[in-house]
Structure 1
Amino acid sequence: MKKLKIAVIGCGSIAQHRHLPEYHFNKNVEIVAVCDINEERANKIAEKYEAKAYTDYKELVQSGEVDAVSVCTPNYLHAPISIAALEAGVHVLCEKPMATSHEEAEAMIAAAEKSGKKLMIAHNQRFVKSHQKARQLIENGEIGKIYSFRSAFGHGGPEGWSVEGKEGWFFKKEQAFIGAMGDLGVHKTDLLRYILGEEFVEVGAFVETSAKDFADVDDNAVCVLKTESGIIGTLAASWAYVGKEDNSTIIYGEKAVLRLEDHPTYSLVVQYATGEVVNYELGKIQSNDDGGQNNSYVVENFVDCVLHDKEPLITGEEGKKSLGVILAALKSKETKTITKI
């Protein structure tokens, strides 16, 4: 089979720890180019992967040298770069959050439809085996009616692992548009939509900057969410959890509680109302700590979809719905009201 010619646009931490190593390990892929506005960084990464270095993404997507790109840039560039690539007939895997507005997300989806190329958003939590099992148990009626949930995603903040530290784009509103809520919260909105099999309809949110005085975006957010069938729960996203990362979700149902927490062995624990406990050993949730060796399956799914003309697990439409929850949370914070999604 002909190898897929891939380029990665934006050579920061997520590209270096996830996209590039995972493309490199994929036998159906050839990394042909990388692009970064920091020429030195672009050259260094290009040398490592024996690829061509670019500093202008427009030149890269119009070069005719690539079949597909990963967009790993600051958030404000996700839409313009993805649209330019799609219009040039190139498939796109875009980091989350996919865009900074509904309008941008819709423009990306329209560009994908018009070009007939794939657009996938890099939400990795749907690929976690324990999360897939939880979805299946809910779908099968094993848990009965779902009443409530709580989900959290937090760590010490991107300054600990991003290439530019405290000076990085993550903390600049004009480049990031949103902080912890967009970096981590959007992963959890996507996961909860996936596990519960329902859309959220209302949100009330506190989105604050309380831990990082050098940031002009949020670093702590707590939302109360409600689904179309009336399931209510909380979602917390934080860059102020010192010590260990928290990446957990608990679903409270009529017949059982599903615990997706950091357990040394069991990534899913089901506690039934009868007192019975079932432990599932399904491997851990991948995190930024493992240097990309622990496959996130995002790149694998994207490559597979492009090569075999399949629908990605997280389409632009799905990415837009998860982004919509975040945008509504921001509106809730600004208006101090419960906001319809």
Structure 2
Amino acid sequence: MTTLKIAVIGCGSIAKHRHLVEYANHPEANVVAVCDIVDERAQEMAELYDANAYTNYETLLQEEEIDAISVCLPNYLHGPVTIAALKAGCHVLCEKPMATSQEEADEMIQVAKEKGKKLMIAHNQRFVASHEKAKKLIESGEVGRVYSFRSTFGHGGPETWSADGKESWFFKKDEAFIGAMGDLGVHKADLLRYILGEEFVEVASFIEGNAKENSDVDDNAVCILRTESGVIGTLAASWAYTAKEDNSTIIYAEKALLRLEDDPTYSLIVEYANGESVYYQLGQIQSNEDGGQNNTHVIENFIESIKNNTESVISGTEGMKSLKVILKALESSAENKIVRF
């Protein structure tokens, strides 16, 4: 297969530190165009990657011959721009959360199907080595039946990461739709579905905006979830973990307890009921502070699915199912009741 011609729409932090870096490092990808509403950002990335710069994505789609596109925009633009790119004949890798509603996600999936194009959602936690190992241990039956879980994703907030700092779209409801739950919670919803290998059927949640000033989105959330087989546990997402990031998951099973990303040295610790423990050094989970040094494997999986004409493990349908968990959690909090899927 010839080298894929790539465009990246949105040149903020996630594009700068993840998408563009990983495309540039991939032997079968060539970034030929970048787009950002802020001309200075677009020009900076265009110069760095020897690409053409645009401030209007529609113009880019009209003027460039593109094979695949990364959509790295504020949440409210994920759906419209993805659909436009698919209709223009491009494969699309869209940042999470994939959409702002179930209807929008369904339309994205439908258009991708109609156009025969790949739609992948950038849930990178599935590719973390400790998470992959934990899934294999559960699938093999080695740790026995899973009873419960606790998963957390929290840090000090997007102002330390976003290109616009405290003025970022992350804090504006009309652009972000949801806050910490869309930024971090949806990652954990996807991870838990992946590791447990089953869907959630009920949620009860408390979702608050109590940590950030000049913001009208959530910044702290705790959800209780139940799977179809009766596994119960908690998912927490927060922009109020000011001391350090917490990206850990604990799985409580019949024969062992699995600690994922809960120790600075060992990315997975398996504590067996018989008193034995196994410590795995599988590399560090990606963080906003690593400067893009750790490969998320998202780009290589996206390109592989295009090359081999296979569906990504994080297809549009998978992204929609993870989004649905968050939408139901929002409904639970708003209506102060347990919501069944």
- Measured against the shorter chain, the TM-score band is over 0.9
1:176 is aligned to 2:191: no
Q: Tell me, yes or no, if the aligned pair for 1:247 and 1:262 is still in contact at 8 Å.
A: yes
- The structure 1 segments of at least 4 consecutive aligned residues displaced by more than 6 Å after TM superposition are none
Partner of 1:304: 304
Cα deviation for residue 321 of structure 1 reads: 0.2
CA distances 1:166-222 after superposition (whole Å, capped 9, x unpaired): 111000000000000010000000000000001000000111011102111000000
Contact 2:221 2:237 in 1 (8 A): yes
Q: Are 1:46 and 2:33 matched, yes or no?
A: no
CA drift of 1:264 comes to: 2.9
Partner of 2:2: 2
User: What amino acid sits opposite 1:169 in the alignment?
Assistant: W
Deviations 1:101-152 (A, max 9, x none): 0000000000100000000000000001110110011111111111100000
Write the distance in 2 (CA, Å) between the matches of 1:19 and 1:237. Answer: 24
Gaps in structure 2 of 5+ consecutive residues: none
Instruction: Give the superposed CA RMSD.
Output: 0.8
Counterpart in 1 of 2:28? Answer: 28
1:160 aligned residue: 160
Please report how far the alpha carbon of residue 62 of structure 1 lies from its aligned counterpart in structure 2 after TM superposition: 2.8
Q: Does 1:79 align with 2:59?
A: no
Q: Determine the structure 1 residue equivalent to 2:211.
A: 211
Aligned to 1:277: 277
Give yes or no for contact 1:76–1:176 (8 Å, CA) kept in 2: yes
Shift of 1:243: 1.5
For the Cα contact (< 8 Å) 1:131–1:260, is it kept in 2? yes
Counterpart of 2:313? 313
Q: Counterpart of 1:202?
A: 202
Deviation, 1:261, is 2.5
Q: Which residue of 1 aligns with 2:335?
A: 335
Moved more, 288-297 or 90-99: 288-297
Q: Tell me, what secondary structure is at the counterpart of 2:282?
A: coil
Is this contact kept in 2: 1:207–1:333, CA < 8 A? yes
CA distance in 1, matches of 2:104, 2:213: 30
Q: Distance in 2 between matches of 1:181 and 1:68?
A: 28
Task: Tell me the distance in 1 between the aligned counterparts of 2:63 and 2:304.
Answer: 23
SS across alignment from 1:235: strand
Task: Give me the whole-angstrom Cα distance separating, in 1, the residues matched to 2:213 and 2:337.
Answer: 26
> Are the counterparts in 2 of residues 86 and 117 from structure 1 also a CA contact under 8 Å?
yes
Count of residue pairs the alignment pairs up: 341
Partner of 2:94: 94
* TM-score, structure 1 as length reference: 0.99
- 2:41 matched to 1:67? no
3-state SS of paired residue (1:207)? strand
Letter in 2 for 1:17: H
State, as a whole percentage, how many aligned pairs show the same letter: 68
Whole-Å separation in 1 of the counterparts to 2:62 and 2:117:
15
Tell me, in whole angstroms, the C-alpha distance in 1 between the residues paired with 2:274 and 2:308. 46
Distance 2:39 2:293 in 1: 27
Query: Counterpart of 2:92 in 1: which secondary structure?
Result: strand
State the distance in 2 between where 1:305 and 1:62 align: 25
Task: Report the Cα offset of residue 64 of structure 1.
Answer: 4.2
Partner of 1:322: 322
In structure 2, the partner of 1:187 is 187
- Contact 1:4 1:307 (8 Å CA) reproduced: no
User: Is this contact kept in 2: 1:153–1:246, CA < 8 A?
Assistant: yes
Deviates more, 1:39-48 or 1:74-83: 39-48
TM-fit CA distance, 1:340: 1.2
TM-score normalised by structure 2 residue count: 0.99
| 8 Å CA contact 2:201, 2:226 repeated in 1 | yes
Query: Alpha-carbon deviation of 1:47?
Result: 1.1
AA partner of residue 7 (structure 2): A
Moved more, 36-45 or 158-167: 36-45
- Comparing 19-28 with 258-267, greater Cα deviation is found at 258-267
SS at match of 1:295: coil
* Inter-partner Cα distance in structure 1 for 2:61 and 2:243: 41
Cα deviation, residue 26, structure 1: 0.8
Check the 8 A contact 1:9/1:71 in 2, yes or no: yes
